[in-house]
Amino acid sequence: MKIFIVYCHPSQDSFTKNMCDAFIKGIIDSGNEYIMSDLYKMNFNPVITEQEYIRDANYRNFPEVASDVLEEQEKINSADAIAFIYPVFWTEAPAMLVGWFDRVWSYGFAYGNKTMKLLDKAIILCSAGNSIERLEQFGLLDSMKKVMLGDRLYDRAKQLEFVVFDNTSRENELRTKNWETNLQKAYEIGKIFFD
């Protein structure tokens, strides 16, 4: 299986980067292959233009999408599965990834008379500074899941999964205590999820 990883974190010095590397190692060890968009490294432009907005808002598939958007759409359609890896920022994905959806999930590709293929699997791996208990307190975890699984991914993949690595705040002693266990978990997910 070919997995397209959409990775979004501003810093190499992060738990999320290490978690992504462990996940990739699992993919390789399972005999699967991957391609990746590292949005910060690519300096991906997440800001939808007026022209793009008018195109999508009026349900038109003209003019052609921009070349950077087309490249992302081609990566999706060349893959069997997709994985999103990011840190939670204000109960959402980082703005660059949110903008990636604004632009790449365009009319005629992700909705409407869509050309996006039905993927076999989709997984979200995110890190959160807070504990799961805190994220569940006001339904924050449910909100994140609803947006990612119920809206952005929805029926675009046959199997959906949402994984949170919690307590990763630098103020929290569990960040260091759980570090190796969490990387092992990311590795195992990479190894078994795509079989």
Ligand X SMILES: Cc1cc2nc3c(=O)[nH]c(=O)nc-3n(C[C@H](O)[C@H](O)[C@H](O)COP(=O)(O)O)c2cc1C
| Interface contacts to ligand X, rule CB under 6 A | 9, 14-16, 87-91, 127-130, 168-169
Q: Which is nearer to ligand X, 106 or 127 (CB)?
A: 127
Q: Which is nearer to ligand X, 9 or 191 (CB)?
A: 9
CB 127, min distance to ligand X, A: 3
**Residues 135 and 128: beta-carbon distance below 8 Å:** yes
CB 93, min distance to ligand X, A: 10
CB 170, min distance to ligand X, A: 7
State the residue for tokens 């109960």: 91
CB 58, min distance to ligand X, A: 34
Q: Minimal CA–CA distance to 76: which of 107, 108, 122?
A: 122
Q: Which is nearer to ligand X, 89 or 111 (CB)?
A: 89
CB 141, min distance to ligand X, A: 9
Q: Which is nearer to ligand X, 30 or 169 (CB)?
A: 169
Q: Which is nearer to ligand X, 73 or 168 (CB)?
A: 168
